Structure 1
Amino acid sequence: MSTQTTTETKVEATIEKAAESKAVKKTRSALAGVKKGSAAAKRTANKIAAAPAKIFDSAVYGACYGVSYGTVFTALMVTKLLPSKGQAMKGFHDGARVARKDFKTQEAKQAITEKTVA
């Protein structure tokens, strides 16, 4: 009887080990699945978070491009329609020259202000 009990105990222990082993494997598998899902969710969240910034950047670029193109193209077309040695062209050239000079002066003032504040 003792041999049979020992054999039964060994069989039960083997079955328990096999069951534990399967449970451990299932747990590891589930944990791996959770980790994989978590990583996928994080990647998707990063993509979604970046999408509004890309849309905003595209909108800003498009608006700036349109303003720049419209301004420069219109100015070039107007200067082509006017006589090259007329008063209107002289006014365009003088206005552009003074605007560049004033812009440089403004930049210099701003640089001085930034140095004194810092």
Structure 2
Amino acid sequence: MRATSENYADYDTQPVADDDANELVPRAVRGVSRFAYNGSYWLSYGVVYAIVFVAHSLPQENPVMHGFRDGARAAIDDLKTEE
């Protein structure tokens, strides 16, 4: 069977192309958003995990750690008084 333009006249491909073009921008935005979320999540996880690991590996009974604890308590108390 030989293909002619008459055989393809019944097919409308324009709506499919329009749908693909209309989906391109939302897909790109979702991809960028997902990348930003995952990157931020893993970056913050890595930073916090490293800080907690270092804090737990330091000796707890020394003036520096007491200062950190006192400072954290003061910050929490100050935050509660602002509410």
Please indicate the TM-score interval, normalised by the length of the shorter structure. 0.5 to 0.7
Which ranges of structure 1 fall in alignment gaps of 5 or more residues? 1-25, 109-118
More helix by share: 1
Matched, 1:90 2:63: no
Share of identical aligned residues, percent?
30
Structure 1 Cα separation of the partners of residues 41 and 35 of structure 2 = 10
Q: What TM-score, normalized by structure 1, do the two folds share?
A: 0.48
RMSD: 2.7
Larger Rg computed on CA atoms: 1
Q: Are 1:58 and 2:39 an aligned pair?
A: no
Q: In the alignment, which residue of structure 2 is the partner of 1:39? A: 15
In the alignment of these two chains, the number of paired residues is 76
- Higher relative contact order, structure no. (Cα contacts within 8 Å, ≥ 6 residues apart): 2
- Aligned residue number for residue 48 of structure 2: 72
Relative to the length of structure 2, the TM-score reads 0.62
For 2:41 and 2:79, how far apart are their aligned partners in 1?
A: 21
Q: Following TM superposition, by how much is the alpha carbon of 1:73 offset from its aligned partner in structure 2, in angstroms?
A: 0.9
Who is 1:116 aligned against?
Answer: none
1:99 is aligned, of 71, 75, 78, to: 75
Unaligned runs of 5+ in 2: 1-5
